[in-house]
Amino acid sequence: MILMNPKKYETEYPDARSREIMLKTIDFFESRGRGQLKKDDHERAWYQDFLDFQKGEKVFADLLTPTPYALGPNARWDTWRNCGFNEISSFYGLNYWYTWQVSILGLGPIWMGQNEAVKKKTADLLAQGGIFAFGLSEKEHGADLYSTSMALKPLGDGKYEADGRKYYIGNANKAALVSTFGKLTDTGDYVFFVVSSEGGGYEVVKNIVNSQNFVAEYALHDYPITDADILTRGRDAWDSALNTINVGKFNLGWASIGMCTHSFYEAIDHAAGRFLYDHYVTDFPHIKQLFNDAYTRLVAMKLFALRAADYMRSASAEDRRYLLYNPMVKMKVTTQGEEVMNLLWDVIAAKGFEQDMYFEQGVRDIRALPKLEGTVHVNMALIIKFMPNYFFNPGSFPEILKRMDAANDDFLFQQGATKGLGKIQFHDYQIAYGSCDLPNVNVFKGQIEVLKQMLLAAPPTEGQTKDIGWLLTLGELFTLVAYGQLILENAKIYGVYDELVDQIFDFMVRDFSKYALELYSKTSSTAEQMELCTRMIAKPVADQARFDKVLAEAYSLRDQYHWSD
């Protein structure tokens, strides 16, 4: 069973400390119980108890300190175990995941920077239970780095004054250090520097969200800075901003996985115990379809995210394939999370509004994830740059294996330049597809071939290349191909049985057809493009025995997890 059950936590770790962190975190949340956690959510209580727990257990210190700066034997930046913590914390509430997530973002420019003294200070602050913040976005400019108005004014003798505001900055009320992006007033060069939320000249303007989280607007007023506070300048500052996003935004997909998993347990328990019109709700044909779709989509989300982590951990200057798969975790997996929650909500209906359910906060918060840290269209604009090389110019790479080893992910903080994305190559996607001979996978292969024909015979016109709406839909088709590729790779690694794989591709075929029809319907689509789009539309191969086997597995999750009271 690939989905997590906190009561029977089975994720493998190569060392005892990693497993101890996960089990103690689960125990913290279970001992707090549904009543207290729901009360805190409804009352928007600051989660000091969780921060005290992680401080006492040195959770963030061990998980978020790279090995070169470790103050103890268990500290490393290990994406495998960080994925596990993502999943657990979001399973109990997105608020708890969020304070961890924005700490990761705040740490990115520090660990990627060149200021060794700040790195050592940061390791010490983590050991003391510190949390961190990422001062990038601004109210007027969002995450448009070009337009940042945060100003750092040189005063001479290595001294500066910082002035400006940042907006939508998580943890900014309590952050030990806030990594802040701005420009030098004399040269216009970009710069990253650190400030303390307790420093003079630092003003927390307000919490701008209605939540347990504190997502601040903060202002710097003649805030004193010295060379000792500066992390990077110029191109290095720009690169560390984008590379921090590459590292940190991957976690959003994992938050969706955790939230959807908890919600699935609640939905199956409710539906299986409800008797209407002489039938249990789970006996109705449309409910079976909803559950099968929700289950296969959720399993696919996790298979893809796990495999993307393998590429992330194995990245190097010569192998940057993860830069395609990573934004797909934050874009595709999170939008699939919304779809899973929609399917489950159609099952449990009004029950999803009840205040004692995890579900009511899950459906509220799941919407945030595709919209946090860059919207879907921003990530799609990045993804589509990879399409020509992905389809038509594959490279040769050694096979990437499952990466659960106890290693520090060094390259994530040594990435360097963010240029040249269009030159990145990928291994031949047909290796994964060619190794699988299942009915719906074969239908999907046929859809891919027609898409490639369209890209060669009827590529986007000059006008379409400037139409983000047209490109978004084309990007959705491309994304499905890479999504299916990694699912197939990981299904082999995890020994997923054929019926489940083929049922996953049942919805993949339908999704491909949906986007093909959407592209057909675009105002600017040409006659040749429209004809090829109609050839992409296909019906999945039905197999009742396959459907029933997968449904039985989904239904077996009944009574497997109950949130402790």
State pLDDT tens for residues 484-533.
Answer: 999 999 999 999 999 999 999 999 999 999 999 999 999 999 999 999 99
State pLDDT tens for residues 147-181.
Answer: 899 999 999 999 999 999 999 999 999 999 999 99
0.75 surpassed by pTM: yes
**Cβ distance 168 to 198 under 8 Å?**
no
Q: Which residues of 537-549 are buried (b: 16+ CB within 10 A; e: fewer)?
A: bbebbebeebbee
Six token digits for residue 202: 């630092």
Distance from C-alpha of 169 to C-alpha of 207, rounded to nearest angstrom: 9
Which of 213, 351, 327 has the alpha carbon at shortest distance from 271?
Answer: 351
Six token digits for residue 127: 């050991």
CA distance between the termini of the chain: 25
Asked whether this chain's domains 134-233 and 249-391+428-555 adopt the same fold, the reply is no
Specify the CATH class of 249-391+428-555 in words. Answer: mainly alpha
Q: Which amino acid is at 303?
A: L
Please report, for the chain, the start and end positions of each structural domain, with discontinuous segments joined by +: 6-131, 134-233, 249-391+428-555
Distance from C-alpha of 413 to C-alpha of 374, rounded to nearest angstrom: 21
**Cβ distance 486 to 322 under 8 Å?**
no
Kindly state the helix (H) or strand (E) to which residue 83 belongs, with its residue range.
helix 79-92
Per-residue pLDDT at 377: 66
The residues pairing with 183 across neighbouring beta strands, listed in sequence order, are 151, 190
Which of 443, 538, 431, 411 has the alpha carbon at shortest distance from 486?
Answer: 431
Q: Report in angstroms the alpha-carbon separations of 323 from 245, 347, 491.
A: 11, 36, 22
DSSP 93-141: -HHHHHHHHHHHHHHHHHHHSS-HHHHHHHHHHHHTT--EEEE--BTTT
Q: What is the CA radius of gyration of the chain?
A: 24
Report residue 20 CA to chain centroid gap.
24
Distance from C-alpha of 136 to C-alpha of 382, rounded to nearest angstrom: 19
Which CATH entry fits the domain spanning 6-131: 3.40.190.10, 3.40.50.920, 3.30.1340.30, 1.10.540.10?
1.10.540.10
Q: Which amino acid is at 130?
A: G
Distance from C-alpha of 44 to C-alpha of 40, rounded to nearest angstrom: 6
Residues in the chain with pLDDT values less than 70? 373-378, 417
CATH superfamily of 134-233: Butyryl-CoA Dehydrogenase, subunit A, domain 2 (2.40.110.10)
Distance from C-alpha of 199 to C-alpha of 275, rounded to nearest angstrom: 60
H and E: helices and strands count for the chain: 21, 10
Q: Report in angstroms the alpha-carbon separations of 76 from 60, 96, 261, 384.
A: 10, 21, 27, 33
